[in-house]
Amino acid sequence: MAVQILVEKKKLDKSPLSIHKLGDRVLRQPAKRVNKVDDELRQTVVQMLQTMYTADGVGLAAPQVGINKQLIVIDSEPENPAIPPLILINPEVKNCGKVLAKDQEGCLSVPGVYMHVERPETVEISYKDENGRPCHLKTDGFLARIIQHEMDHLSGVLFVDRIDDSLTLTAELKKHGLSIQAVQPVSSGVS
């Protein structure tokens, strides 16, 4: 029988999990595939959702809370209680659109820094849901951007690694007490 994960979209006084920041090594480790979707994993999902809502985020990947698993929670509409969050387990990109789009991104692991990143406008993925059922999703726009940003986390990549303008990036990071030394540029703008 399918289990539904119900988490109220609100801020808690205390975040159940703490979020690692740029420079922390856990953010750079490739995440391992989830073998079993069970109650223990669903409990982690609940805590990740609570942590994401408390931090005002629209997405959170398990490595950001020090969990080395291919697990992501996303909510592109955190203000809308009628829309359930998206839970991605072992997500794989099946196809990327050829058209690129540039838009602003931020990251709970790079607090305060918002910069434009170029990514494919459309993405098609397969994944397992919170009941271990295989799913398929093709989407574009804001949701496609969040999915790609979060999936980068599973490979140890952060959005700041994808910014070519290192001068502005250095200044932005410095302004928020972060160091450019922790950035690991990816070769091309898009992987």
Q: Which is nearer to Co ion, 131 or 139 (CB)?
A: 139
Residues 78, 58: contact at Cβ < 8 Å? yes
- Residue 107 interacts with Co ion (CB under 5 A): yes or no: yes
Q: Of 12-20, 40-48, 100-108, 137-145, which part binds Co ion (CB under 5 A)? A: 100-108
Answer yes or no whether residue 146 interacts with Co ion by CB under 5 A: no
51: alpha, beta or left? (left if phi > 0; alpha if psi -120 to 50): alpha
Smallest distance, Co ion to C-beta of residue 81, A = 24
What is the set of active-site residues?
150
**In the complex, least distance from residue 82 CB atom to Co ion, rounded to whole angstroms:** 25
Amino acid identity at 11? K
Looking at beta carbons, which residue is closest to Co ion? 107
* Helix/strand/coil percentages in the chain, nearest 5: 30, 25, 45
Maximal C-alpha separation, the chain:
53
Using the rule CB under 5 A, give the single segment among 37-45, 99-107, 118-126, 177-185 that binds Co ion. Answer: 99-107
Shortest distance (Å) from residue 57 CB to Co ion:
8
Q: Judged by CB under 5 A, which stretch of 7-15, 32-40, 86-94, 103-111 contacts Co ion?
A: 103-111
Is 39 strand, coil or helix? helix
Which of 59, 145, 136, 135 shows the shortest CA–CA distance to 99? 145
Residue numbers at the binding site for Co ion (CB under 5 A): 107
